[in-house]
Chains A and B, each alone.
Chain A
Amino acid sequence: MTIDNAVPDAAGRFGRFGGRFAPEALMAALDQLETEYLKAKDDPAFQAEFQDLLTNYAGRPSLLTEAARFAEHAGGARILLKREDLNHTGSHKINNVLGQALMTKRMGKTRVIAETGAGQHGVATATAAALLGLECTVYMGEVDTKRQALNVARMRMLGAEVIPVKNGSRTLKDAVNEAFRDWVASVDDTHYVIGTVMGPHPFPMMVRDFVRVVGVEAREQCLDKWGGLPDAIVACVGGGSNAIGIFHAFIPDEGVKLYGFEAAGEGVETGRHAATMTAGSVGVIHGMRTYLLQDDEGQTIESHSISAGLDYPGVGPEHSWLKDTGRATYAAITDAEAMDAFALLCRTEGIIPAIESSHALAGAIKVGKELGPDATIVVCLSGRGDKDMHTAAAYFGLMPEDGQ
């Protein structure tokens, strides 16, 4: 099957995935967003403003760093890290929120809402809202407010209201539900800044377009600095925005293998995981048709991951499509494998990665061993690990007690 970039179609479908499953109350806003986005996409002034923010505020382009000492553990393959951790606010999320914040202003809206798991997207949204003078409310599962307390403080420092969600599993999925509920009631003056390539059309398309700069840069950097295209691209997948961001520019390059690694949690076989594409089935969640974790009666199964950012039972519909077409390969990484990779990158390269990104690093070790020493692999280092220090320190038993 030929893969091109002609998805989604006019109805927002990536093959059988995507679409728009949403309350009627939101349809007018989704239509408005789609219309305005398609105009903005072709508006040089909008694109110039977006590019200016990426360059002069977010700090793009991000580096492509060779990780030679880490690569020794990955079958000797050459490993290049796309350093989204060096962006302002510390992750790839800033690319998307700057675009959506500009869209909010363009539509004449004055308030943004967002959901967040690990807090990266919440911090990025609070940041963009502060920069552009928008009111900001962030929904976060109560479980996540505890494991990501520092990011809660960060968001509040930036002027955002953070609302802990106490329903359901009290994680990202429930924060998404609560953000939708807010949006249904506030859609006149509020834009919902969805944090990944999910949701009803046009979100998966629009968010992809705002994050695809990651892959566009990586592709140019490979050609300019390293003399050719890489053999493989590796990224972690929760909702999947960093992965789509780095994959997208490479989709037409059929020689470049694309690998997405989702969270196997305590092991796919234990049932405590977030391996949506590895162990899920096709259904409808949060406005889209996609792979999700569900039982035989269509009830969502709660996900689990040591990484709050990957702890989500669905995935963006374009990933489901890339899986079905075979253009990308998806596999799962356990909490333990991810944490080993986390520690390894710290000690071989002096970079503390986000636990999300550590899933990609663990995946790169496997891919490197498979492809061998002649291969060049680009890993999307989607975020920095400062926010995860509490989890990591507890995991490795490094937290000093009683001042020792």
Chain B
Amino acid sequence: MSVSVAFDKARAENRAALVGYLPAGFPSVEGGIEVAKAMVAGGCDVIEIGLPYTDPLMDGPTIQDAVHRALTGGTHLADLFRTVEAVAATGAATLVMTYWNPVDRYGVERFSRELKSAGGAGLITPDLTPEEGGEWLEVADSLDLDKVFLVALSSTEERIKKITDVCRGFVYAASLMGVTGARSAINTGAPGLVARTKAHTDLPVGLGLGVGTGAQAAEVAGFADGVIVGSAFIRRILDAPTLADGVRDARTLAEELAAGVRARG
């Protein structure tokens, strides 16, 4: 399912969409599937399944830790596709967030076809820009997959236009200059970035990086179409004594965030 369906549904309910991130294979392949399902049950409209990668240079310590555990636990591409399939079966739009090299190495078309057949909606590509994304853009268009690129606070108007022109599904706005990880406050520049992005596109704009509480979700939902949360979910699982506790805590967080996106600040 394309993520635009999820964003349309949220828009119809006059709220922002809730997007949750979890790397495949964390805390285990089956455990991750359970957690992701709980995130959907708690109110996530869209799930980003991260492909664990050895060199996650955009990620802060929490996601690095989770990804490292996934890799040392033996997570492979087959596990990613299996996770996508299980999560997509819940009805939530399911994207893969991945650094570029694993896709490049596996073959862009082969990767895309397997993603599609698993029910995946598309890719979020944090280290791929439209300039280097030619092959992906072509394959994604031929398979009707979502192409989510990032805009940043430092992006010029020219770049925002170039990026939004090639996005499909939604545009990922990075709320701060920095790596992933929950922060105590939403960056004051974030609303401006979303507004600048919306000036160039009718696509929904989701805001990520640094969001972790219901109150922050409500604040972000006041100016963005989507609220993206990753590290805060992972933190719950890392802190939980058992998988069952982690699943429950992830669901509780999703419920808190889902209430937040309905209480727009």
Residues of A bordering B, CB below 8 Å: 11, 19-29, 31, 167-168, 173, 177, 180-181, 184-188, 281, 283-287, 294, 296-300
Query: Across the two chains, which residue of chain A brings its CB closest to B172?
Result: A24
Q: Which of B114-136 contact A (CB under 8 A)?
A: 126-129, 131-132
Known: A21-B127, A297-B77, A297-B106. A285 touches B154 (CB 8 A): no
**CB nearest neighbor in A for B61:** A167
CB A188 to nearest CB in B, in angstroms, measures 7
How far, in angstroms, from A297 to B77 measured CA to CA in the complex? 7
A-B contacts besides A24-B163, A298-B101, 7 pairs, CB < 8 Å: A23-B57, A25-B154, A25-B178, A27-B159, A185-B178, A283-B104, A297-B76
The one of B54, B76, B101, B155 in contact with A24, judged by C-beta atoms closer than 8 angstroms, is: B155
- Contact between chains at A284 and B178 (CB < 8 Å): no
Is there contact, CB below 8 Å, between B179 and A184?
yes
Please, which residue of chain A has its CB at the minimum distance from the CB of B150?
A24
Beta-carbon contacts under 8 Å, B86-120 to A = 100-106
Given A184-B177, A285-B101 in contact, is the A27-B54 Cβ separation under 8 Å?
Answer: no
Main secondary structure of the interface of B (DSSP, over half): loop
* A167–B64 CB distance below 8 A: yes
Q: Taking the nearest CB of chain B, how far is it from the CB of A61, in angstroms?
A: 38
Tally inter-chain residue pairs, CB-CB below 8 A: 112
Q: List chain B residues, Cβ under 8 A from A22.
A: 127, 129
Report B-chain residues with C-beta under 8 Å of the C-beta of A287: 127
Task: Give 5 nearest A-B pairs by CB, closest first.
Answer: A298-B105, A298-B102, A185-B178, A25-B152, A28-B154
| B26 at the binding interface (Cβ < 8 Å) | no
Chain A neighbourhood of B55, CB < 8 A: 168, 173, 177, 285-286, 300
Which B residues touch A296, using CB under 8 A?
105-106
Please name all residues of chain B whose beta carbon is closer than 8 Å to the beta carbon of A25 when the two chains form the complex: 150, 152-154, 174, 177-178
B159 and A24 within 8 A (CB): yes
Q: In the complex, are the beta carbons of A27 and B154 less than 8 A apart?
A: yes
Binding site for A on B (CB under 8 A): 53-60, 64, 68, 71, 76-77, 100-106, 126-129, 131-132, 149-156, 159, 163, 174, 177-179
B126 contacts across to A, CB distance below 8 A: 23
Residues of chain B within 8 A (CB-CB) of A185 are: 177-179
> How far does the alpha carbon of A286 sit from the alpha carbon of B100 in the complex, in Å?
11
The reply to whether B105 and A294 contact each other, CB–CB distance below 8 Å, is: yes
* Contact between B60 and A23, CB atoms less than 8 A apart: no
Report the minimum CB–CB distance from B134 to chain A (whole Å). 11
Given contacts A181-B57, A184-B58, contact A24 B152 (CB under 8 A): yes
Given A167-B68, A297-B77; A24-B149 close (CB under 8 Å): yes
A204 to chain B, nearest CB (A): 15
**Alpha-carbon separation in the docked complex, A404 to B155 (Å):** 63
Subset of 7 A-B contacts with CB under 8 Å: A24-B149, A25-B150, A31-B156, A167-B64, A283-B101, A283-B105, A298-B106
With a CB–CB cut-off of 8 A, which chain A residues contact B101?
Answer: 283-285, 294, 298, 300
Instruction: For A300, list chain B residues within 8 Å (CB).
Output: 54-55, 101
Using Cβ atoms and an 8 Å threshold, which residues of chain B touch A31? 156
Q: Is the CB of B105 within 8 A of A297?
A: yes
Checking A20, A187, A297, A299 against B177 with a beta-carbon cut-off of 8 angstroms, the contacting residue is A187
* A183 CB to nearest B CB, Å: 10
Bound CA span A359–B134, Å: 39
Q: State which of A177, A281, A297 has its C-beta within 8 Å of the C-beta of B102.
A: A297
